[in-house]
Structure 1
Amino acid sequence: MTINPLADRVVVQYAKPEEKTQGGIILTASTQEKPQVATVTAVGPGKNGEPVSVKVGDQVLVGKYAGTEIKVGDEEYTIVNAGDILAIIE
């Protein structure tokens, strides 16, 4: 199954949150902070004739509470508006 976002939406996949601190303390799921860096996995065609400025494979910085989380098979993705992407990480 593939996800094809519409308009100016972008599908991103976050890296797994850290389960241990550098000091070796194990974090429970409720204390793990949601990462803000994600990888773009799909991009919509754009809106009003303007293409989306990111492409598949880009590492991006996403707003902390942005998007809608979905699960496809065993993989978790987040669909965000292009405006919720704060920066491309190079």
Structure 2
Amino acid sequence: MNIKPLFDRVVVESVQSEEKTKSGFILPSSAQEKPQTARVVAVGPGGVVDGKDVTMEVKIGDVVLYAKYSGSEFKVDGKEFTILRQSDILAIVE
């Protein structure tokens, strides 16, 4: 299935986080925080959103940091994705 976001939306897939603490303890998935780092898998075209012209700054393949409680999570073909607005992205990780 192909995902094509609309307007200023971006589809991201979470980057797996460390399952161990610095001291070596293994954390179960229920104790881990929701990851805030993700890889961009689809980008909307931008355009006029809420009366303002939006230019898309991110591209497919970028690794980004996004706000903790932003976006909507969903599953497609057994994979988990988050769709969020470009304004919810805080930074591009290089």
Amino acid of the residue matched to residue 50 of structure 1? Answer: V
- TM-score when normalising by structure 2: 0.86
Work out the CA distance in 2 between the residues paired with 1:31 and 1:45.
37
Offset from partner CA, 1:26-80 (integer Å, 9 cap, x none):
3233210111111100000003153211000011110011100010112110000
Q: Which moved more, 1:46-55 or 1:2-11?
A: 46-55
1 or 2, which has the higher strand percentage?
A: 2
For structure 1, list consecutive stretches of 5 or more residues without a partner in the other structure.
none
Work out the CA distance in 1 between the residues paired with 2:17 and 2:11.
18
Which residue number in structure 2 is paired with residue 11 of structure 1?
11
SS at match of 1:30: helix
For structure 2, list consecutive stretches of 5 or more residues without a partner in the other structure.
none
Root mean square deviation of aligned Cα? 1.4
Q: How many residues align?
A: 90
Identity over aligned pairs, percent: 56
Work out the CA distance in 2 between the residues paired with 1:39 and 1:72.
16
Which residue number in structure 2 is paired with residue 34 of structure 1?
34
